[in-house]
Structure 1
Amino acid sequence: MSADIGVTGLAVMGANLARNLARNGYTVSLHNRSVERTDALLEAHGSEGEFVRTESLVQLVESLERPRRVLIMVKAGAPVDAVIDDLLPLLDEGDIVIDAGNSFFEETRRREERLREKGLHFVGVGVSGGEEGALNGPSIMPGGSEESYRTLGPMLEKIAADYHGEPCCTWVGTDGAGHYVKMVHNGIEYADMQVIGEAHDLMRSLAGLEPAAQGEVFREWNTTDLASYLIEITAEVLEHEDERTGRPLVDVIVDSAGQKGTGRWTAISALEVGSPVTAIAESVFARSISSQRELRAETNRVFSDGVDSTAADEEFGPEFVEDVRKALYASKLVAYAQGMDMLVAAGEEFGWDLDLKEIASLWRAGCIIRADLLDTIMKAFDGESSRLPKNLLLAEEFTEALNECLPAWRRVVAAAAEHGVPAPVFSSSLAYYDSLRRDRLPAALTQGLRDYFGAHTYQRTDVEGTFHTLWSGDRGEVEA
């Protein structure tokens, strides 16, 4: 039989995507470097749909209808290039190679150009939702050529998550745009999880709320404007009791957060395109410092927290918990605003016509950052480009929300600083907000200093032009 699509790389994500495709009526040709994994999938799940067993890439390609569609699900980096190298001699003009892993967008751009020169399509697809999403419907963010999407799109839309009858999948842009959007999604995810962690720490350290009690708080918060997948599962994690010790599970998990690189890539790319994603960057650094456990243990013994233990603490009761909720919502908004700002900057840099409304729609189901506020984000970016807000925080609904949250946000950040509880993303998000709203920033002095030691010049507020002060001479000003 002729298969509709081939999948090579049958670890958990690849196997689940293959099963998803088969469940949705497609004949899926299977390949893995070790045939045992192919056979294990067929033995366990072969009844879920039509599969074709192959033992080599040659057999995989020969089993596919034209134009051939081959989905690669192997580890990002060199393994992807190795599979492409093996596939190229087997493919014909018009065939489509799909990378649905977490590849770096620049590598996707390089691969797309390489295959385009050979008459082939290369599609970098961002897939979010983890193992469960891959099987039951992920958020899918495809890049590549529009022509390839005409062939591939209906298939991806059918296996994607469904939000009130709309698939969480659409073509987002050329070459590496799909993987870029997924990267920014993950950056927002980093910041979102970090502010949730900071809220948990503040409520425990200052309000004395134990994890189980916090689970109830987060469960209640999930009925408010904070409603989201991450808030929902936070309640479950905090309420979970460790079977071995009877303690809250969160207390026996080592406090060192790992990462697979996408958050770091987001921060680096943001610097390159000039987008100030301070909350996202701080969340990456927070994971880094959590991993320095030996250094933290030593400084814990040496450093004082600087808190006056003789002073009576203010009462951290229900009002403080509500303050934390508002600070969490405001900081969450900043993370989304920074991600959207970065997408605009990247679109200008790489020539992508990114539709922020469409991108927000992809994140409403199936993915990790799905949240009720995405419907409001879509409304904010719905309309003619000239009338869209320059920053998500300027959308009327969010401006009103920030004004309402601001006093609580300031109280929470102040309490964290006063009592020695680190809240880097709460703090940096508030600083971002304050930086945006100020009519003057200290960058004027920075430019003066740069002009002094490096003759980097500056511009004036009262006349047009570029100027330099003769600091080592008579200190007169000249036009540069």
Structure 2
Amino acid sequence: MELGMIGLGRMGANMAQRLQGGGIRVTGFDPGEQARAQVGAKGVAVVASLQALVQALPAPRVLWLMVPSKVVDATLEALLPLLSPGDVVVDGGNSWYRESQQRAGRCAAHQVDFVDCGTSGGVWGLQEGYCLMIGGEQAVVSGLSPLFQALAPAADRGWAHVGPVGAGHFSKMVHNGIEYGMMQAYAEGFALLEKKAEFALDLAQIAEVWRHGSVVRSWLLDLSADALRQNPALDGIAPYVEDSGEGRWTVSEAIDLDVPAPVITLSLLERLRSREDNSFTDRMLAAMRNEFGGHAIKRSDG
């Protein structure tokens, strides 16, 4: 089986290599010359344009997008006129499921099938395999099963056809919302351990203990233990946490569906809070306490 990979950033490049290791022939394209060169050096065939990519693939073609969600539409606009009826486009990035449903309609107008594949695994996917949540028509997804089997941790686990178009990215969205909450809980727990100075706790040691037999063991805990072993005080790491957008979409969907999701919501708000320098909110709180109770205000140097 052959596939065209569009987007050769770190995750796309790793996926291309894993696919080739699983017997799938991959031709890659990225607008960045450096990205193409790096992947080409690892044995993946690369081309310098979308047109060359389409021409290099046998019909019916399979094109896998691993690009940021904000450029999926522009990529489709350039790609669809080059495709033929019966070709398939797979969006394996972190797209909003509603946009995936709309994109399926755009593809259908060209008689091109669209599959949305929520992909988890990050930088470890090349070694460990990827978790794949797939949305699309049954017959189309079944025809792509060799790809999913090659990418997953094993042919019979770590991937599933979860429903129609949109279901894959919806499942991945909720997956990431859960991830936000789990990460926040771990971070708060380790902060409590670190603050208890009288015990001089070894956080890396405790994380390692929890990894075995505990009900809170997880891959996130494994990674946390590694991070604490390498840098126990987290020196050089700024208290600034980005979000990919999936947490925001999860919270919005929870509101739309009247599903209470306080942990996920608060974990998102904590990420937003981490980015505040000289928080106006906190300064306003201090001012109010001073006004109603005469509580002292800590003056800033600025």
Which TM class, normalised by the smaller chain length? 0.7 to 0.9
Determine the structure 2 residue equivalent to 1:295: 279
Q: Which of 158, 166, 176 is residue 150 of structure 2 equivalent to?
A: 158
Hey, what's the Cα distance between the residues in 2 that align with 1:91 and 1:298?
A: 55
Q: In structure 1, give the amino acid aligned to 2:252.
A: I
Hey, what's the Cα distance between the residues in 2 that align with 1:202 and 1:36?
A: 44
Distance 1:65 1:249, change over 3 A: farther
Following superposition, the deviation at residue 167 of structure 1 comes to 2.3
Determine the structure 2 residue equivalent to 1:281: 265
Following superposition, the deviation at residue 303 of structure 1 comes to 8.0
The total of aligned residue pairs comes to 288
Per the normalisation by structure 1, the TM-score is 0.56
Q: In structure 2, give the amino acid aligned to 1:23.
A: G
Q: How does 1:79-158 map to 2 (within 5 A)?
A: 79-134=71-126, 136-158=128-150
Distance 1:22 1:304, change over 3 A: same
Q: How does 1:67-466 map to 2 (within 5 A)?
A: 67-77=60-70, 79-134=71-126, 136-162=128-154, 166-206=156-196, 208=198, 210=200, 213-223=202-212, 224-241=214-231, 248-295=232-279, 299=283, 302=286
Deviation digits for residues 319-340 of structure 1 (CA, Å, limit 9, x no counterpart)? xxxxxxxxxxxxxxxxxxxxxx
Deviation digits for residues 415-456 of structure 1 (CA, Å, limit 9, x no counterpart)? xxxxxxxxxxxxxxxxxxxxxxxxxxxxxxxxxxxxxxxxxx
Distance 1:144 1:135, change over 3 A: farther
Answer whether contact 1:187 1:263 (CA < 8 A) is retained: yes
Answer whether contact 1:125 1:143 (CA < 8 A) is retained: yes
CA RMSD of aligned residues (A): 2.4
Q: Greater CA radius of gyration, 1 or 2?
A: 1
Following superposition, the deviation at residue 117 of structure 1 comes to 3.2
Q: In structure 2, give the amino acid aligned to 1:217.
A: I
Answer whether contact 2:18 2:150 (CA < 8 A) is retained: no
Hey, what's the Cα distance between the residues in 1 that align with 2:136 and 2:256?
A: 22
Q: In structure 2, give the amino acid aligned to 1:200.
A: F
State the secondary structure of the residue aligned to 1:294: coil
Following superposition, the deviation at residue 236 of structure 1 comes to 2.2
Following superposition, the deviation at residue 130 of structure 1 comes to 0.6
State the secondary structure of the residue aligned to 1:98: strand
Per the normalisation by structure 2, the TM-score is 0.88
Overall identity of the aligned pairs, in %: 32
Deviation digits for residues 99-158 of structure 1 (CA, Å, limit 9, x no counterpart)? 111111111111012212332111111111112214541111111111210111222122
State the secondary structure of the residue aligned to 1:172: strand
Determine the structure 2 residue equivalent to 1:63: 56
Hey, what's the Cα distance between the residues in 2 that align with 1:13 and 1:125?
A: 14
Answer whether contact 2:3 2:24 (CA < 8 A) is retained: yes
Following superposition, the deviation at residue 251 of structure 1 comes to 4.6
Following superposition, the deviation at residue 298 of structure 1 comes to 6.0
Moved over 3 A (4+): 206-210, 296-305
Answer whether contact 1:19 1:135 (CA < 8 A) is retained: no
Following superposition, the deviation at residue 37 of structure 1 comes to 2.5
Distance 1:194 1:97, change over 3 A: same
Deviation digits for residues 11-60 of structure 1 (CA, Å, limit 9, x no counterpart)? 111111111111111111111213442233212x11xxxx4332221221
State the secondary structure of the residue aligned to 1:260: coil
Hey, what's the Cα distance between the residues in 1 that align with 2:284 and 2:121?
A: 37
Hey, what's the Cα distance between the residues in 1 that align with 2:76 and 2:285?
A: 52
Q: Which has the higher strand share?
A: 2
Structure 2 gap segments, 5+ residues each: 290-302
Q: In structure 2, give the amino acid aligned to 1:268.
A: S
